[in-house]
Amino acid sequence: MRRNIIIAVFGRKGLGKTYLVKWIVRRSRRMILIDTLNEYNNGTVVYDTDALFDMAMEPEFRIVFRPLNDEDFEYALDLAIAVGNLTLVIDEIDQHTTSYSLPEKLRWVIHYGRHYNVSLVVAARMPQRIRTDITAQADVILSFQQQGKATISYLKDFTDLDLDLYVRDLEAHKFISIIGDFSLDNPPDLP
Ligand SMILES: Nc1ncnc2c1ncn2[C@@H]1O[C@H](COP(=O)(O)OP(=O)(O)OP(=O)(O)O)[C@@H](O)[C@H]1O
Ligand SMILES: [Mg+2]
């Protein structure tokens, strides 16, 4: 049976999170990508939920969905669960969750996505600014350079690596795997 995978990408601004997310999902054949900041064009750009629904009924789809409000965002999460067997991508996920709040639909995707084979790829700058459900359930956590003590100490919880050594001094576009097996040569198998 296929196993869903949750990948979380962190790192300071402009170091390559969005670029990496595009790379990770480049072979996905069933993808809904929530593009809050209008940065993606690696699929068909869709603004309204009717069009989103129609496309997601196809056997294969690469949808870049730009929700106009929270309701449309939640619609996309509901649809992802209902359709299943797909990759859901949410860059700038800190626009939708904080350390204490998590929309119910997002909580559902994180905790029960496995049952619907919904894989999830998310990115944000600081892991401690998003709800712990996400990092706690992630199979892979990648980080670009980080400087803040709070951020590094948050990430230390997940690894025995000496993050003061490895994460503070990473060059631009370089990242490390905090948890999970991940390498650019061996991309994860996503729906
Ligand atoms: N591995 C890479 N090789 C070459 N260029 C890269 C690489 N990664 C990122 N870049 C370039 O660096 C710039 C910033 O990258 P990107 O937008 O992915 O950063 P980000 O971490 O998502 O930033 P933000 O936090 O602002 O969203 C872009 O112009 C991108 O094309
Ligand atoms: Mg980005």
Query: Which atom belonging to ligand 1 lies closest to the Cα atom of 19?
Result: 18
pLDDT at 187: 80
Q: What DSSP character marks residue 186?
A: B
Pocket test for ligand 1, best of 19, 39, 171 (most atoms within 8 A of CB): 19
Q: Decide the pairing of beta strands 176-179 and 44-46.
A: unpaired
Q: Indicate whether residue 13 lines ligand 1 (CB < 6 A).
A: yes
Query: Which atom belonging to ligand 1 lies closest to the Cα atom of 37?
Result: 27
pLDDT > 70 in the chain, percent: 99
pLDDT at 181: 87
**CA separation for the pair 78, 182 (Å, rounded):** 29
Buried b (16+ CB within 10 A) or exposed e, 169-182: ebeeeebbebbbeb
Identify the sign of the CA torsion 12, 14, 110, 47.
Answer: positive
- Ligand 2 center to residue 48 CA distance, Å? 23
Model confidence pLDDT, tens digit, residues 14-73 = 999 999 999 999 999 999 999 999 999 999 999 999 999 999 999 999 999 999 999 999
Q: Decide the pairing of beta strands 118-124 and 6-10.
A: parallel
For the question of whether the overall pTM of this predicted structure is more than 0.85, the answer is yes
Q: How confident is the model at residue 2 (pLDDT cuts 50, 70, 90)?
A: low
Q: Indicate whether residue 43 lines ligand 1 (CB < 6 A).
A: no
What phi and psi, each to the nearest 5 degrees, are found at residue 136?
Answer: -65, -30
Model confidence pLDDT, tens digit, residues 129-138 = 999 999 999 9
Domains located in the chain, CATH noted: 6-179 (3.40.50.300)
Instruction: Supply the mean pLDDT for the chain.
Output: 95
Nearest CA to ligand 1 atom 18: 16
- Laid out side by side, the sheet with 44-46 consists of 44-46, 61-65, 30-34, 86-90, 118-124, 6-10, 140-143, 176-179
pLDDT at 3: 82
